């Protein structure tokens, strides 16, 4: 393990939630079965490259299936975060997976709009 932890609970009914703390739950925050990567705020303050790799690992585990990244715990907007989202979106596309971002703050949506990438990332708000 890389210090951030990882887990999927792929055999659990109702989907799974993966966080930087390796906590898997039977039902994700949206109450459906879509595998979800819960982005923990403290991970942004650590090693961004490791966080990128953790997200890419989550996407690889999905095997091209639809999944989501939940940013509900993130209350700030930064170009670093938009860049991470773009990396994950491109990775998902390479794998043929549909990736959606949920819990995105209005400030982050506005920043993505300024960079003309909000539509590509599927952000509304």
State the pLDDT at residue 31: 62
**Cα–Cα distance measured from residue 61 to residue 25, given in angstroms and rounded to the nearest whole number:** 16
**Cα–Cα distance measured from residue 115 to residue 112, given in angstroms and rounded to the nearest whole number:** 5
State the pLDDT at residue 20: 47
Specify the CATH architecture of the domain 38-121: 2-Layer Sandwich (3.30)
**Cα–Cα distance measured from residue 81 to residue 24, given in angstroms and rounded to the nearest whole number:** 23
pLDDT score of 45 more than 90: no
pTM: 0.76
φ/ψ of residue 71, rounded to 5: -105, 20
Identify the band that residue 2 occupies on the pLDDT scale cut at 50, 70 and 90: very low
pLDDT score of 44 more than 90: no
């Amino acid at each position: 393990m890389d210090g951030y932890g990882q887990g999927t609970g792929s055999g659990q009914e109702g989907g799974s939630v993966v966080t930087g703390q390796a906590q898997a739950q039977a039902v994700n925050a949206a109450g459906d079965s879509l595998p979800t990567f819960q982005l923990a705020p403290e991970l942004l303050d650590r090693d961004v490259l490791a966080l990128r790799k953790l997200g890419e690992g989550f996407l690889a585990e999905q095997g091209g299936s639809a999944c989501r990244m939940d940013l509900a715990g993130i209350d700030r907007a930064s170009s670093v975060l938009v860049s991470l989202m773009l990396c994950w979106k491109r990775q998902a596309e390479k794998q043929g997976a549909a990736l959606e971002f949920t819990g995105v703050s209005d400030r982050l949506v506005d920043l993505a709009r300024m960079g003309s990438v909000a539509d590509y990332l599927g952000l509304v708000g």
